[in-house]
Structure 1
Amino acid sequence: MGKRTQIPTVNAGSMADIAFLLLIFFLVTTTIETDAGIDRKLPRENTDPIAIEYKRKNLFPVWVDGEGRLLVKNERIDLKELRSMAISFIDNGGADPNHPDYCDYCMGLRDQTSSDSPSKAIITINTQRETEYGVYIAVQNELVGAYTELRNREANRLYHRNYTDMEEQYQNGQTSLLVKAELKKNIRYLRDLYPLNIVEPQQ
């Protein structure tokens, strides 16, 4: 009889170890994108009618009905008017010069029946269940755009550049840590000048 040939076999003993190492590799190197959503503040419950009446001039109520129509301070407006109206309200600076809330950098009309300062100005968005999501997002964009315009104006006055450019540079991974630290301080200061006070009252 001839010599029996042996069939070569693959040693699979370490396959489990290899699979485990590949799993760890993919877990470490894979980045998962998360949707941050839209950050908003919910108002605190306040049952004091005097306090509510006092704050009424600092409120900018925006109503959006089921057909996408806008109502601001009981007046029907177009979406394209919303941003300029919001800027006028936020930047009004109606507080008395001797009051702690007085805004010396505001360039508004200083109407004492409107908002005292950007930190006190609150924009509320009220919607109906039938309101289309696209209309809701368009309203949000206009209101956020109003704050961005005001921050850009102050950034140009203080730092001779746009607020949006500063944010982009801060988010850039190639920006040095030293520059990022300075940008972070300046961006935070601009946000304190014009805080994003957009709330959605609970229905």
Structure 2
Amino acid sequence: MARRSAPEVNAGSMADIAFLLLIFFLVTTTIEKDKGIARQLPPIEDVVDPPILKQKNLFIVSVNKDDQLLVEDELMQLKDLRQAAIDFLDNGGVASECSYCKGRRDPASSDNPDKAVISVQNDRLTSYKMYINVQNELVAAYNFLRNRESQRLFGWKYTEKKADIAEGKIKGAQAEAIEEKLEEIQLMFPLKLSEAEPKQAGQ
């Protein structure tokens, strides 16, 4: 009696199926975007004589290798940094230069937000977490003041409208009109955050 041969499995289309699955997973998989600190570098300019900066218009923030915060030569907790930066930026030492400033108008502090510069210096052994936390607190100080002024002038928060435009919730002519107002607020409190070259450990 003749032996019956086993039926063969046709594997000719397996390559096509594998290729289709590969395309499916490539199209449907979402890749998490890296998050970083949004900074725009200034344009390259040939500056022969750097502008003279008064010491009172400079807010110096230092972080050492042990993640200790030194602000204006005084030890400070991270939770107090935001308010200290707000007080410096909003001081309005020269009243005629900043009618919208609500600070103490201390003549020993910044003249106006346009002249106020925050200088951050880290040690090479400063932890990345502390570096990010300091940056967040300083940017939050600017955002607080920008929100306050946009609320006063336009009835909405600067950060909310900026996020709405970035996410595409506001488009077209309306977005352009709001962007002009955002730029107006940015000019009132320009982000002047300077990062000095990190020091060697222990210096």
TM tier, smaller: 0.7 to 0.9
Q: Which residue of 2 aligns with 1:177?
A: 171
Deviation by residue 1:71-103 (Cα, 9 ceiling, x = unmatched): 011111111110000000001111252xxxx11
Q: State the one-letter code of the partner of 1:82.
A: L
Q: Does 1:55 align with 2:54?
A: yes
The answer as to 2:126 corresponding to 1:152 is no
The residue type paired with residue 64 of structure 1 is: V
Report matched runs for 1:30-179 at 5 Å: 35=34, 37-40=36-39, 54-95=53-94, 97=96, 102-173=97-168, 175-178=169-172, 179=174
Does the 8 A contact of 1:41 with 1:197 survive in 2? no
Tell me if the contact between 1:42 and 1:202 (Cα under 8 Å) persists in the aligned partners. no
Q: How many residues align?
A: 196
1:192 is aligned to: 187
Give 5+ residue unaligned stretches, structure 2. Answer: 1-24, 199-203
Please tell me whether the aligned partners of residues 41 and 200 of structure 1 are also in contact (alpha carbons under 8 angstroms): no
SS state of the match for residue 75, structure 2?
A: strand
* C-alpha RMSD of the superposition: 3.5
CA contact (8 A) 1:124 1:198 kept: yes
Change in Cα spacing, 1:186 to 1:41, as seen in structure 2 (3 Å) is: closer
Provide, for residues 27-83 of structure 1, a one-character-per-residue CA deviation record: whole Å limited to 9, x for no partner.
Answer: 999997764732447899xxx9xx887521111000101111110111111111100
Contact 1:93 1:116 in 2 (8 A): yes
1:5-44 pair list within 5 angstroms: 35=34, 37-40=36-39
TM-score, normalised to structure 2, is 0.74
Aligned counterparts of 1:58 and 1:186: Cα–Cα separation in 2: 26
* Whole-Å separation in 1 of the counterparts to 2:40 and 2:122: 16
Q: 1:71 to 1:176 in 2, by over 3 A?
A: closer
- Asked whether the 8 Å contact 2:165–2:171 carries over to 1, the reply is no
**Percent of matched pairs sharing the same residue:** 45
**How far is 1:180 from its partner?**
0.8
- Structure 1: segments with no counterpart, 5+ residues: 1-25
CA contact (8 A) 2:59 2:116 kept: yes
Q: Which amino acid aligns with 1:122?
A: V
CA distance in 1, matches of 2:123, 2:156: 40
